[in-house]
Amino acid sequence: MSALILALDATSRNEALAIAESTARYIDAIKIGYPLVLGAGLSVAGEIAALGVPVIADFKVADIPNTNTLICDSVFQAGCSAVICHAFPGSDSLAACVGSAHDHGGECFVVCEMSHPGGAEWFSGGVAESFCMMAAGAGADGIIAPATRPARVAALRELIGTRKIYSPGVGAQGASPEDVKELVDGIIVGRAIYGAADPAAAAAEYSRRCR
Amino acid sequence: MSALILALDATSRNEALAIAESTARYIDAIKIGYPLVLGAGLSVAGEIAALGVPVIADFKVADIPNTNTLICDSVFQAGCSAVICHAFPGSDSLAACVGSAHDHGGECFVVCEMSHPGGAEWFSGGVAESFCMMAAGAGADGIIAPATRPARVAALRELIGTRKIYSPGVGAQGASPEDVKELVDGIIVGRAIYGAADPAAAAAEYSRRCR
């Protein structure tokens, strides 16, 4: 079984809050990204967290260490519980994200392999495995690995041990909860819930399938 | 000679606008990033552009294609002239950024190598050169290459031809305008201008040294 994480990629504040409220009882966390935050402002994170659902800032932080620190500090000050960052800007940039997360009592997740077709171009050939080891070495709380490629998730699970794996790609990108629910700690579903005619019913159904 | 681009990494709207106004006459563009936008809101981009200075959104966009399109569309709708994205998420993600930029009459720049110490971990060994070819293949308007490593800038100039190169790392990170001004189209200076006791005087001096 796995937790269910809603990728809330609505672009307006009102729509996002309405979906968050109607689905909150069925989900374990809400992941927000820049498409929402650029429209609604970062304060939307606190408004969602006030519903009692932990908020994960999927900002794929990928800058120099000083900038990463500033971004992550903003994330946690806004009420988020976790941040997602990239590994390829290097171990110093990654350490800045983990440091900010832990300074604020939050978690940091590292993208080890992306779920879309282009994600196979540069994260393949051992790169995802290296990122996984970087994540462990930096003291990150977990990694992001693609439900669209369960064999890759299994390979990364071997490396990451008991740290958490959150897995996107379920729903619109084609994967099913059953593909990875025994391998991962959290399954991330976006459009298949927030874009459903009845988001609450879709969340309830995905929640059942994650158990 | 090279253009001078101010990396305006102040974190408050009022401070950012004050520095933008005082330095505008000496600089050719202002680069903003998430540390400012998460605090001030994306509308600050339009406020800076209203001073008559083109605004570059250095968001290091690095997500799946759909999310990249949403982020870049927001950038250009807010009044920016260019966006900076990563190549690492793959050619489909990169194409989404270039497509959004050109749909809005804007420019897209691709990070080929970062300027900080960790930037050498994953952008080395031919990776930066591959990113450079990806940028050209995607029809990007230019690349980002580190003034802290002028020999690398020269190598990437050979590959990128007449497309633009913008180069960070001058000032606080240790490089000088003279290191790269004959190689690049734009030199990016941040803390050495916006953190100076007299930002306008610092901008005037860097502008002179870029000529």
The secondary structure of A47-72, three-state, reads HHHCCCCCEEEEEEECCCHHHHHHHH
Q: What is the pLDDT of residue A92?
A: 96
- pTM of the shown model: 0.94
Residue A11: pLDDT over 90: no
Q: Are A142 and A160 in contact (CB under 8 A)?
A: yes
Assess whether A58 carries a catalytic annotation: yes
Instruction: Calculate ∠ Cα B100-B144-B105, nearest 5°.
Output: 25
Closest CA to B109 of B93, B118, B97: B97
Q: CB neighbours of B95 closer than 8 A, spacing ≥ 6? A: B65, B138
Q: Are A46 and A57 in contact (CB under 8 A)?
A: no
Q: Where are the beta strands (DSSP E) in chain B?
A: 3-7, 29-32, 55-61, 82-86, 107-111, 142-144, 164-170, 186-189
Q: Which residues of A touch B32 (CB under 8 A)?
A: none
Q: What is the pLDDT of residue A172?
A: 85
Q: Which residues of B touch A37 (CB under 8 A)?
A: 38
Closest CA to A193 of A3, A1, A9: A9
Q: Do A118 and B89 touch (CB under 8 A)?
A: yes
pLDDT tens column, A40-82 = 999 999 999 999 999 999 999 999 999 999 999 999 999 999 9
Instruction: Label the pairing between strands B55-61 and A82-86.
Output: unpaired
| Interchain CB contact of B15 with A (< 8 Å) | no
Residue A106: pLDDT over 90: yes
Q: Two tokens at A58? A: 């999927």
Q: Which residues of B touch A78 (CB under 8 A)?
A: 38
Q: Which residue of A has its CA nearest to B94?
A: A118
Chain A residues 73-112 with a CB less than 8 Å from chain B? 74-75, 78, 86-94
Distances (CA, A) of A160 to A56, A91, A100, A110, A132: 20, 17, 21, 11, 7
Closest CA to B126 of B113, B107, B109, B139: B113
Q: Do A35 and B70 touch (CB under 8 A)?
A: yes
Q: How confident is the model at residue A6 (pLDDT cuts 50, 70, 90)?
A: very high
Count of pairs with CB atoms under 8 A, one residue in A, one in B: 120
pLDDT tens for chain B, residues 1 to 211: 899 999 999 889 999 999 999 999 999 999 999 999 999 999 999 999 999 999 999 999 999 999 999 999 999 999 999 999 999 999 999 999 999 999 999 999 999 999 899 988 998 889 999 999 999 999 999 999 999 999 999 999 999 999 999 999 999 889 999 999 999 999 999 999 999 999 999 999 999 999 9
Give B122 to chain A, closest Cα distance, Å: 6
pLDDT tens column, A145-183 = 999 999 999 999 999 999 999 999 999 889 999 999 999
Average pLDDT score over residue span A182-205: 96
Distances (CA, A) of B145 to A73, A74, B13, B122, B179: 27, 27, 28, 14, 13
Residue A141 Cα to chain centre, angstroms: 12
| Interchain CB contact of A50 with B (< 8 Å) | no
Chain A residues 122-141 with a CB less than 8 Å from chain B? 122
Q: Which residue of B has its CA nearest to A115?
A: B64
Q: Are A163 and A136 in contact (CB under 8 A)?
A: yes
| Count of C-beta atoms within a 10 Å radius of residue A140 | 26
| Interchain CB contact of A64 with B (< 8 Å) | yes
CA–CA dist B104, B14 (Å, integer): 28
CA–CA dist A81, B207 (Å, integer): 43
| Buried/exposed code over B2-13 (b: 16+ C-beta within 10 A; e: otherwise) | bbbbbbbbbbeb
Residue B9 Cα to chain centre, angstroms: 12
Instruction: Calculate ∠ Cα B25-B61-A189, nearest 5°.
Output: 145
Give B91 to chain A, closest Cα distance, Å: 6
Q: Do A33 and B63 touch (CB under 8 A)?
A: yes
Q: What is the pLDDT of residue A120?
A: 86
Q: Two tokens at A65? A: 């260490």
Q: Which residues of B touch A119 (CB under 8 A)?
A: 64, 89-90
Q: What is the pLDDT of residue A176?
A: 95
- State yes or no: B181 annotated in a binding site: no
Q: Which residues of B touch A67 (CB under 8 A)?
A: 9, 33-35
| Interchain CB contact of A63 with B (< 8 Å) | yes
| Buried/exposed code over B124-153 (b: 16+ C-beta within 10 A; e: otherwise) | eeebbbbbbebbbebebbbbbbbbbbbebb
Give B151 to chain A, closest Cα distance, Å: 20
Q: Do B64 and A114 touch (CB under 8 A)?
A: yes
Q: Which residues of A touch B147 (CB under 8 A)?
A: none
- State yes or no: B169 annotated in a binding site: no
For A167, the enclosing helix (H) or strand (E) is strand A164-170
| Interchain CB contact of B38 with A (< 8 Å) | yes
